[in-house]
Copies of this chain bind each other. A is one copy, B any other.
Amino acid sequence: MKANSHKQTINIGMLGLGTVGTGVAKILAANEHCIAQKVGSAVALKKVLVRNAAKPRRVTLDGLLTTDPAAVIDDPEIDIIVELMGGEEPAKDYIIRALKAGKHVVTANKDVVARHGRDLFAAAEENNVDLLFEASVGGGIPIIRPLKQCLAGNRISQVMGIVNGTTNYMLTKMTADKSDYEAVLAEAQQKGYAEADPTADVGGFDAARKIAILASIAFGTRVTLDDVYVEGITGITPQDIEYAGEFGYVIKLLAIAGETDKGVDVRVHPAFIAKNHPLAAVNDVFNAIFVKGDAVGETMFYGRGAGEMPTASAVVADIIDVARDIQHGVASRVLCTCFDNKPLCPIDKTEAPYYIRLLVEDKPGVLAAIAGAFGCQQVSLNSVVQKRKVDDWAEIVLITYRVSDANMRMALSALGGMPVVNKISSVIRVVGE
């Protein structure tokens, strides 16, 4: 790429002109002058791949739109391909083609990075070009570059984040209004925060892609979507949120990655987190990523995790970074950092304290029987509280000490078979203790 040094204009080819693409076009136009000062040359959109060139747009890009991918990817004057199509294919194919054509690539595509990161980085390395993806996690929040560069001197032990705005909005609403899941989901859909099919968000899969990406960087080993244990928020009730509050916790959907002596543990699930933890105060559609390093200690990155302009902010940062590289005749300065191949920690070996809510017969000796069933699986109880009556049943809420997932499953299975137990209503991990 050294031949590109000191270009007058750095040309961008953009794939996709949806929400984020529109935001990128807006920023490149509105902040053209500041960006040119920082890069030392103009940065201009040259071509934009769209599905329908006739569709009305919120930005004026006369003459730039095309429906032919090759017209963008193979344009010899284009220096940087910005992929904002989303989804695995054809995005992955286009990215690989662009890298092979010697173009730098900026992408916001968490699906592609979380599943095919290895292939993409290999192609970038072979072709000595940049591949940046700051916008793939945390929207506008700087997190990829901080992890890869600012915390590069640390051994990271944990990354824990609220990385899905839809579910955080829903849980915040459920907490504030004591409203139930279905009502809040409908409201989120009506406000445009949740999709018509909300599965990717409420099922935890969006968060899983993001934590796979963060874990790969934090621990220097490739973690893909399939490696992530996932539970969503569909089972969370206002009752659980209320009890969490009484115990001094809030419920958040957390994406957690940790390096333990049993391997790299990567998961997404709802969790009780203490009210005084910095993540507990992250509300509405805001996201935050909490990182623990051996030198830096605890650090957190907070901001808007989605939306047109925040996500575009991250994309444009990557474009500026690549443009600076082009002007300095350097490329692939910071590529894949997965130098190791570390084992994963299977979910049944992970450990946590648990919150459990269950309905049992309201008669003497039942609590002792339940405690006994837990005890058989080495589950010690930290607190047991009898709550309201539900029909003829007594509602019991308990919090355990730290226990392995495997033992908890066995204890729950035993409990489920006990005649005095009517229902195990909720089982939620407690984190950050």
Contact = CB atoms under 8 A, between A and B. Distances in A.
A150 to B, nearest CB: 3
A141 interface: yes
Interface stretch (A118-126, A240-248, A331-339): A331-339
Interface stretch (A207-215, A296-304, A366-374, A420-428): A296-304
A324 B152 CA distance: 11
Q: Return the 4 tightest CB-CB contacts between A and B, nearest first.
A: A153-B316, A142-B150, A299-B303, A295-B313
B302 A300 contact: yes
B317 A151 contact: yes
Interface string A5-31: 000000000000000000100010011
B37 A320 contact: no
A315 B154 CA distance: 11
Nearest to A155: B31
A154 B302 contact: no
A141 B145 CA distance: 13
A281 interface: yes
A309 interface: yes
Contact of A297 (B300, B309, B334): B309
Interface in A299-343: 299-304, 307, 309-310, 312-317, 319-321, 324-325, 328-330, 333-334, 337, 339
Contact of A31 (B153, B297, B299): B153
B153 A317 contact: yes
B339 A37 contact: yes
A153 B319 contact: yes
A45 to B, nearest CB: 13
A143 to B, nearest CB: 9
A37, A295, A299, A337: which has the most chain B beta carbons within 10 Å?
A295
A152 B134 CA distance: 13
A220 interface: yes
A27 B295 CA distance: 7
A203 interface: no
B296 A304 contact: yes
A155 B34 contact: yes
A304 B299 contact: yes
Given A140-B299, A142-B150, 6 more contacts: A152-B316, A152-B321, A153-B317, A295-B309, A300-B301, A328-B330
A31 B142 contact: no
22 contacts: A31-B155, A31-B294, A34-B155, A35-B152, A38-B152, A140-B299, A142-B142, A142-B146, A142-B299, A145-B146, A150-B314, A152-B317, A152-B321, A153-B319, A295-B309, A296-B303, A299-B303, A300-B301, A300-B303, A324-B333, A329-B330, A330-B333
